[in-house]
A and B are shown apart, each in its own frame.
Chain A
Amino acid sequence: QKEVEQDPGPLSVPEGAIVSLNCTYSNSAFQYFMWYRQYSRKGPELLMYTYSSGNKEDGRFTAQVDKSSKYISLFIRDSQPSDSATYLCAMSAELTGGGNKLTFGTGTQLKVEL
């Protein structure tokens, strides 16, 4: 069983729809929970992060963490064609000697259509 599970999609929605992306995880040592966005043929870039259970909002994006259920979500309101990308969840645990190890989900491919 993978430490992080994410539905790969693809997910196709009309412009203006609310999008829900989800990941589940099994490792209780994960401390930080992140969402990265990756456009085609580009490197991932950090979209949002959360530390504790609860919600965090940034513009049209809301990240939600439920540590008791080991479940995280990303909601995108009023989705735009420019949101079309692959969304990767990632979870962080400290590495021996410093730094952080990120464990990634496989990514969900999202397409927002006009």
Chain B
Amino acid sequence: NAGVTQTPKFQVLKTGQSMTLQCAQDMNHNSMYWYRQDPGMGLRLIYYSASEGTTDKGEVPNGYNVSRLNKREFSLRLESAAPSQTSVYFCASTGGTNLYEQYFGPGTRLTVT
């Protein structure tokens, strides 16, 4: 039982390049989330998927797109990376007995130069 996994762990992009961050969970959770974490800003919600087939914007969605590929997988895409998107990205899921408990992945450290 791996929990929430994320790939890649690290990535360096040049401004304007695109990439997709992958997330998968093996806990049969319904809801999945993408956050970014920046110094002094805490964790901010980018997009979420309450259930398979649905996605909605969070607090800071601009510059990102998401795909809920199936119940297990939720990807985050940066179409044209900007230096302001340099951050640590966390995927999370929830859906067990405790709906308020989100399980987090190990994070992806992204630098955009």
A32-B43 contact given A42-B107, A44-B90, A97-B50, CB 8 Å threshold: no
- In contact, B48 and A95 (Cβ under 8 angstroms): yes
Distance between Cα atoms of A99 and B74 in the complex (Å): 15
Query: Which residues of chain B are within 8 angstroms of A4 by Cβ–Cβ distance?
Result: 42
List, in ascending order, chain B residues with CB within 8 A of A31's CB. Answer: 100
Q: What number of A residues sit within 8 Å (CB to CB) of B?
A: 27
Q: Is B51 positioned at the interface, with any CB of A under 8 Å from its CB?
A: yes
Is residue B56 contacting chain A, with contact meaning CB distance below 8 A?
yes
Interface residues on B, range: 20 to 34
For the complex, is A59 an interface residue (Cβ under 8 Å from B)? Answer: no
Interface pair A101/B106, CB less than 8 Å apart:
no
Whether B100 contacts A43 by the Cβ 8 Å rule is no
Would you call B101 and A46 a contact (CB within 8 A)? yes
**Residue numbers in A under 8 Å from B103 (CB-CB):** 46
How far is it, in angstroms, between the C-alpha of A106 and the C-alpha of B51 when the chains are bound?
Answer: 28
CB pairs A–B below 8 angstroms (16 shown): A4-B42, A6-B42, A42-B107, A44-B43, A45-B104, A46-B102, A46-B103, A49-B98, A92-B100, A99-B33, A99-B51, A101-B45, A101-B48, A105-B42, A106-B40, A106-B41
Residues of chain A at the chain B interface (Cβ within 8 Å): 4, 6, 8, 31-32, 34, 41-46, 49, 88, 92, 95-102, 104-107
